[in-house]
Amino acid sequence: MTAIPSQAPVRAGDRHGQGTVYSPSGELVCKLGESVITELERWDLDVMSPWRRLLPHTIFPGFHGEPASRLYITSLRIVLIREIDEWRELAGELYPLGLPNAAAKEAFLRQLKKEGVRQFCEIYPDALRVVSVRKHLKPKSLVELRLIGDDGRQYSIMAWNVKGGDGDALELIVSRFKR
């Protein structure tokens, strides 16, 4: 996973967030004057930029199935902190020509996991303006946002919970962004 510069409205990473974005126990580290509005279990995010091009760059990949993650909605940002799951990370590379790369990546991910590293994605909603919103409640709670950042870049953010029927959480996520 590549890191996005800290001034960007969307940042993602793993090791460099330990102690600044999340604590060693996996809890959110709040910034000065920041308060947690809510904490949601088993949510996942998929963040891409730009959204109008063919084959966009994935900033933070989402995975299918039950995620081991927490989505924090705070007064300043939206942060997803997720446990590293080697199987989900490697699933796309398990074909004959991809096995050497998958083996190296698995060793790297296992080392990160031993160090207590988690994956994170932090979004600063005040630096993003909503272009379009799509919401679905069944079979899973899902919101897809098309956004333009203060930096002029386009972002596509998809957030979901596989259990579905969580309309209040979807409304809270959408309400954090500028219209």
Q: What mean pLDDT comes out for the span 51-55?
A: 76
Same domain, 111 and 141: no
Q: What was the pLDDT predicted at 2?
A: 46
Q: Which domain holds residue 112?
A: 84-117
Assess if residue 65 is contained within a domain.
Answer: yes
* pTM for this entry: 0.86
Cα–chain-centroid distance for residue 77?
12
Assess if residue 93 is contained within a domain.
Answer: yes
159, 173 in Cβ contact below 8 A? yes
Percent of the chain scored above 70 by pLDDT? 90
Residue 157's CB is within 10 A of a number of other CB atoms, namely: 26
Q: What was the pLDDT predicted at 178?
A: 84
Identify the CATH number of the domain in which residue 165 sits.
Answer: 2.30.29
Q: What was the pLDDT predicted at 40?
A: 92
CB neighbour list of residue 125: distance below 8 Å, 6 or more residues apart: 77, 78, 176, 177, 178
115 or 127, higher pLDDT: 127
140 or 13, higher pLDDT: 13
Count of domains for the chain? 2
Percent helix / strand / coil, the chain, rounded to 5: 25, 35, 40
Q: What was the pLDDT predicted at 94?
A: 67
Quick check: 63 pLDDT over 90? no
